[in-house]
Amino acid sequence: MLAAILVLALLGLALGLGLGLAARFLRVEGNPLVEEVTAMMPGSQCGQCGFPGCGPAAEAMVAGKAPVTCCPPGGRALAEALAAKLGVSVDLSGMVDKPPAVAFVNEALCIGCTRCFKRCPTDAIVGAAKQIHAVVADACTGCEQCVDVCPTACLEMRPIRPTLDTWYWSRPTPGYC
């Protein structure tokens, strides 16, 4: 009996020591997971998640401080991929994919103040001071920062319409299951 207690106690001590040493000498510097998650993010630094950019958002998600559903431009697809990567379960039923939209300048109202294109993270707005601006749709990520700063409210988000090339059948309704 005594032998058993002794053996188990020694075993416990030895293993605990081993773990401590491993934690000290074998630790991985930094968290490569954060870099991988950052690479998966849209990268436009739009700030809709509430964090200053995609990198900080990735850090927060890896640390568990932010849900994987926090990125609206990434939508459902990104949330699923992040959930798979971080090994968390996520309830996507409440997540509605915001239809992708691009900004559009109402030329009648634009005063050429240049505030919007200074803000645009991808330089999708072209124009100069005192000249009417226009949005290059292909470069617009839909982050809406320009809409926030426009003083004359001449910017609005317009949903991207499907074309004959991009349209596809919707998900079938699963019947009664």
Partner 1 sequence: MRLFSIRGGIHPDPCKQATEGLATVSLPLPGRLYIPLQQHIGAPANPIIKIGQRVLKGQRLADSQGHISAPVHAPTSGKIKKIANYPALHPSGLTVRTILLEADGRDEAVDPTPCADPLALAPGEIARRVGEAGVVGMGGATFPSAVKLNLGNRYRLQRLVINGAECEPYLTCDDRLMQEQPAEVIDGIRIMMHALGVGEALVAIEQNKPRAIRRLREAAGIDPRVRILPVPTRYPMGSEKHLVQALTGRETPARGLTADLGVVVHNPATARAVSQAVRHGRPLIERIVTVTGGAIAQPHNLQAPIGAPIQALIDHCGGFTEAPARLLNGGPMMGQAIPDLGAPVVKGSNGVLALSRAEVQGRAQSPCIRCARCVQACPCGLLPLEMAARARKGDLDGAARYGLLDCISCGSCAYVCPAHIPLVQWFSYARGELTARQRKQHKQEEIKRLAAARGERMERQQREKREALARRKAAAGTPTVETAEEAAP
Partner 2 sequence: MNGIPEVQHGPHIHDSSQVGRIMRLVMLALLPATLAGLALFGWPAVYLFLLTTLAAVAAEAACLRMAGKPVRPFLADGSALLTGWLLAMTLPPWAPWWVGVVGALIAIVIGKQVFGGIGQNPFNPAMVARVALLISFPLELTTWVAPTPLWSSAAPGPIEALAITFGGGQGQIDAVTSATVLGHVKTELGRGVGLEQALAGSYGLGDLFLGQVAGSLGETSALLLLLGGLLLIATRVIRWHIPLAMLGALALLAGLFHLMDPGRYADPLVHLLSGATLLGAFFIATDPASSPVTVRGQLLFGAGCGALVFVIRTWAGYPEGVAFAVLLMNALTPLIDHYLRPRIYGRDRKGAPLTYAEEETP
Residues that bind partner 2 (CB under 8 A): 169, 172, 176-177
Q: Which of 126, 106, 107 has its CA nearest to residue 116?
A: 126
Q: Which residue has the tokens 């990735």?
A: 58
Nearer to partner 2, 30 or 94 (CB): 94
The answer to whether 157 and 103 have CB atoms below 8 angstroms apart is yes
Choose, by CB under 8 A, the member of 124, 125, 135, 155 that binds partner 1. Answer: 124
Q: Which residue has the tokens 């290059």?
A: 136
Q: How far is the CB of 176 from partner 2 (least distance, A)?
A: 5
Q: Return the percent helix, strand and coil in the chain, to nearest 5.
A: 40, 10, 55
Task: Kindly state the number of chain residues that form the binding site for partner 1, as judged by CB under 8 A.
Answer: 29
- Residue 171 binding partner per list partner 2, partner 1, none, with a CB distance cut-off of 5 to 8 Å that depends on partner kind: partner 1
- Residue 174 binding partner per list partner 2, partner 1, none, with a CB distance cut-off of 5 to 8 Å that depends on partner kind: partner 1
